[in-house]
Amino acid sequence: MSWLLAFLGFAALIILHEAGHFTAAKAVGMKVEKFYLFFPPKLAAVRRGETEYGIGWIPLGGFVKIAGMNPDEKLPPEDAHRGYYAQPVWKRIVVIAAGPFVNLVIAFAILFALGFSLQEPTSIAVGAVEENAPADGVLEPGDRVIAVNGVRVRDATAEQQREITESFERFSCEGPLTDGCRATEEATITVERDGERRTLEVRPFYDGELGRFRMGIAFELTDLVPVDSSPGDAATWALDRMWFVTERTAEVFVNILDPETREQISGVVGSYEVTRQSFEFDTRQALGVLALISLSLAIINLFPFLPLDGGHIFWSVIEKVRRRPVSFQTMERASVVGFALVVMLFLIGLTNDIDRLTGEGFSVR
C-alpha cells in the first residue's frame, strides 16, 4: 500500500503543478495543445476540445504544451493570436509562475494543517548507546535525563539542548585534540532509572569528524504532549518550516561543488523511497515529506535557467527590460547551462539514491 500511496502523492504534485500552468494559460487565452502526466513516449491519451490529455511512459515529471512556445514557430492564422509569444510579457510570467506557485500553496496548506496537530516533548531520555563508547555499560537506553554537566533538564527546549551541547566545550585532552582522545575530566549525567535517581560519570572522547566531545549516546525526546495551536501559530510554524527548507536548498546549490554538500542531494528515486517509507511509518510524517518535496520543486523550478520555469520568467523579464524580444537562438545557447544543471542534479541525485538504497538506507525513522 505504501508504494501506491507514494506514487499517488508524487503524481498529485506533478498534476497540480502542471494544472497551475494549464489553468493560467487557459485563463489568459493561450491555446493549450497537450496536458501530460509523465514524459513520452505516449502510453495513453484522449482529446477533449483543443487539448490532448495523456500519460507518458517515463515517470519523471509532466508537461503542458502551449502553442507558440518557440518564438519562431509558425501558427495557423486562426491560432496566431493565442500563441505563447503573442501574449504580453505579464501574461507569460503569470502562466509560467503558476506551476511553482501551486507547489508553494500545496506546501503551505499541508504544513498549515499539520500545524494543528503538533506535539512537543517535555523530557529527554537516553536513546541508543554506541558499542564500546565511553557511555557503554554506564548509561542505558530509556534512562530519563535529569541533568548533564550541571545543566538541569526541566523540559526539552531547543535552548536547553544547546546548553547541554555547550557544556562539553570545556573539555580537553592531554596534548593536542586528536580523534578518539579521552577528556581529562569526566562528564556528569544525572538520570532516573527504575524510579531511582543516579548521578553517573563518563569520560567523553573527542570526535574529530564532528569537532566536539561526546559520550557515545543519542538523546531521545520523550513524553510528547499536544500543542494547542491557533491558526496564527499553525501559519507561523508552516512559514518557518518553509523558510528553513528554502535556505537549506539554496545553500546546497550554492555549495554544490563541495563533496559533503553533494551527498545531501536526492533524486526522484530517493524522494519517492523516503515518501514510501514515511507512509509505512507515519502518515503525518509522509504528508510532511510531500509538503517539503513540493516546496523544493517550487524552489528548483524557479532557478533562472531554461528549461526550468525560472528560465522562462528570466527571459520574459529581459525582454521587458530590453523592450524587444530575445532571439530563440540566444535562449537556446543560454539553455545549455540549464540543461547541464538539470543533468548534473539528476546524476548526483541518482548516484546518491543508489548508494543509500544499497547502503544504510534513508534513515526515515
HSE toward the beta carbon, residue 233, CA cutoff 13 A:
10
**Which secondary-structure segment (H or E) carries 355?**
helix 328-358
Task: Please report the pLDDT score of residue 255 as a whole number.
Answer: 66
Separation of alpha carbons 53 and 211, rounded Å:
55
**Which secondary-structure segment (H or E) carries 330?**
helix 328-358
Main-chain phi, psi angles of 196, to 5 degrees: -115, 135
Task: Please report the pLDDT score of residue 56 as a whole number.
Answer: 92
Asked if the model's pLDDT at residue 362 lies above 70, the reply is no
Q: Which one-letter amino acid corresponds to residue 283?
A: T
Task: Please report the pLDDT score of residue 200 as a whole number.
Answer: 93
245-293: per-residue pLDDT in tens?
Answer: 888 777 776 666 666 555 666 655 555 455 566 556 677 778 888 888 8
Quickly count: other Cβ atoms within 10 Å of residue 185's Cβ: 14
202-219: per-residue pLDDT in tens?
Answer: 999 998 878 889 999 888
Q: Which one-letter amino acid corresponds to residue 200?
A: L
Separation of alpha carbons 72 and 330, rounded Å:
12
Contacts of 8 (CB under 8 A, 6+ apart): none
Separation of alpha carbons 266 and 346, rounded Å:
9
Q: Which domains does the chain have, with CATH numbers?
A: 2-115+271-358 (no CATH), 121-226 (2.30.42.10)
Mean of all residue pLDDT scores within the chain? 83
> To 5 degrees, how large is the angle CA 217–CA 223–CA 227?
125
Kindly provide the residue ranges of all beta strands, DSSP E only, lying in the chain, ordered along the sequence: 32-48, 51-66, 119-129, 144-148, 151-152, 187-193, 196-202, 205-207, 212-214, 217-226
Asked if the model's pLDDT at residue 356 lies above 60, the reply is no
21-64: per-residue pLDDT in tens?
Answer: 999 999 999 999 999 998 889 999 999 999 999 999 988 788 99
